[in-house]
Structure 1
Amino acid sequence: MMENKNILLGVSGGIAAYKACALTSKLTQAGANVRVMMTENASKFVSPLTFQALSRNPVYIDTFDEKNPQKIAHIDVADWADIAIIAPATANSIGKLANGIADDMLSTTLLATQADVYIAPAMNVHMYAHPAVIKNMKQLEEWNYHFIEPGAGFLACGYVGKGRLEEPESIINTVINHQNSQQIRGPLYGKKVLVSAGPTREQIDPVRFFTNRSTGKMGFALAEAAKELGAEVTLVAGPVNIDSVNSTIKRIDVITAEQMFQAMHDNFSENDIVIKSAAVADYRPKNTFVEKMKKQPGDWKIEMERTQDILQSLGAEKNHQFLVGFAAETTNPLEYGVEKLQKKNLDAIVINNVSAHGAGFESDTNIATYVNKSLQPEEIPLSSKKDLALQVLGFIVRDMKDGKL
């Protein structure tokens, strides 16, 4: 697992720094490329020369010691690393990372890296239990940093309790096991996905309403597929006759366009991928009635007013989200779909010609065209809605990796 992996080993200033020497040696023996980065205080416990000899690489300490004028050292190392391990991680180094403080080379590099970061704390038992340290560790866990819990036993300070740096073999095994588990959790592991599905109903009176032919099958298929690919999924569903949904998917049931607008905006900021596949009413009755309207001679005219455009409002609000819309068309579908993509600030759009056989509402199958910002249409032939959902999500994963976000 460690063969040819680029490992950044951060060593902060605690007595347990001596164990980092054995950790460096074992990582190197396992075939990893190891670069050690020390805090200035760490160098008072162990000589940088020791780590240089064990890793066969230069040791980094000073942010301003730029050995290669062609590169900025801390950014170069941050980009180079596949995995970062902080061992030992002192209360000070944990506090810096949790609060975005970058005042030395190690803390600066950790803020810049996109690698998985594993933190192995080592400190006095009372320090480890201090509310500030606990708060900082919880914050880092929320940001998907990974902790390797310290062991309990006799500490260098003379106390007996939890706070002893985990043994090098255990640290390596923990990293390997976590990396292996990530590989089988799917390409959307760690991502949050928000999907809207189904129609809306706009009430006229207690027995009548306007709606459309959407069944919600496509949106439910997208939610289920995203969950299977490892995502944390929230599904905002209009009034549909679908009861089955993965129990780990958060489902929010709404009825009207206004309720769907509110639910999508309430959940928008915390999600990474947002797919609006719901068929939302464009218009609603301007006036509604609390009692059933009785049949009367002559025509009955109902004045309609526009509902809020959910997709356009999300497009105006988005920052980091990958926003995907659906366009159900019957005439010039590609032309109208691309226009919608650009007008509403989308990252991609899935275009349906609902008049085509096997596509559109109520069917268990679908046919679609996926278009991203490059405007190169990608056809998805007749497929089950589940298969089509997986293909759409595959395109999204690819586009996010390719920087088309």
Structure 2
Amino acid sequence: MKKTISLLVVILLMTTLMTGCTKQTTTTDKEVKEVADYKIGVVTPTLSTSEDEFRAADQMAKKYPDIVKHITLPENFSTEIETGLSQITSLADDPKMKAIIVISGQAGLLPALQKVEEKRPEIITMTAPIWDDPALMSKYVDINLDTDWVRRGITIAQKAHEIGDKTMIHYSFPTHLAKEVISQRKDAMEKTCKELGMQWVEVVTPDPQTGNGTGPMLQFLREDIPRQIAKYGPDTNIFGTNCPMYDVIIDEAFKLKYTVVEQCCPTPLQAYPTVLGLQISEADAWNFSKVNSMISEKAAAAGMTGRLGGWQVPATVFMPQFAVELAKKVIEDPSFNYKDVNKLNQFAKEVMGSEVSFSKFKAKADSPELDNYFVMIMKTILY
């Protein structure tokens, strides 16, 4: 009888414990579901206007189908500005919307985010990036993200010096040099080269924006680069400010063995696949790890290991995806201090697997830092 009672007590106790465990698990699942019961609106150009940004956002919508709502701006935004602005503000009509991220390398989008701020101030607004006035963006947008184009002038020169280059050749043309960010990057690159004891060479090419397109510019590069390398030797890094230049710059690098630390828009998809004849399937087109490995194999076969480089993913892919992850983090963990650039760097490494360096943006060298406007560079990879 005692054995029977004891057995009953054990069974009752086990049942109670199991029931308690089941309740705890159910509650936890419910809490997780409640935490994720929100929306993040992501706005990008269309696929034909900006493939990288569109596909990056599309991937995040597929990764978080219950959270991310991806919409696109009109195909011809410049003639349909009001439509684009109303599309952005309409996202705030959803009561579950907790963050709106606008991604478009153009100006004119800030008024929509100002309206969101007025209508739903609790919504986290982000740009990744847009190109309106930085001071106003900092005032009306919670978090602004962009690439640090100027600081790259310093880091490219430093990396070239690190791998043994003695000369830096900078190719550009008048309409590009008239742009402040390109001019500032050039000045930073020249200053750094001189501080490191590197020879600085500046070459002006035919202007593709005022002449007969890219043809004369590319022909000039094809003829001038061999002359420059004959003069300065292969321990020379070449940097051009225009994307089409790199079909020639990288092709000639394989022949003349000079270095290309980074392209103007550093990505494994710029020039490398075309010049190297990489056979990249549609399924692997966005497998950047695989594409980088393919480039490294070609570099090794040509005796160019460690002389060509770039970023492991394009900034136009990194930025939209990181923005979504950051929005999720800020929503789910309000204690996360996104204004601490060290925390941003660590978070980027955790969620994106990318080594980046954020800093707070300054419009000019003597301007104050904008506390919520962050610009980044990615660690250079060498093939």
Q: Calculate the TM-score normalised by the size of structure 2.
A: 0.27
More strand by percentage: 1
Whose helix fraction is larger, Structure 1's or Structure 2's?
2
The structure number with the bigger radius of gyration is 1
Which has the bigger relative contact order, CA under 8 A and spacing at least 6? 2
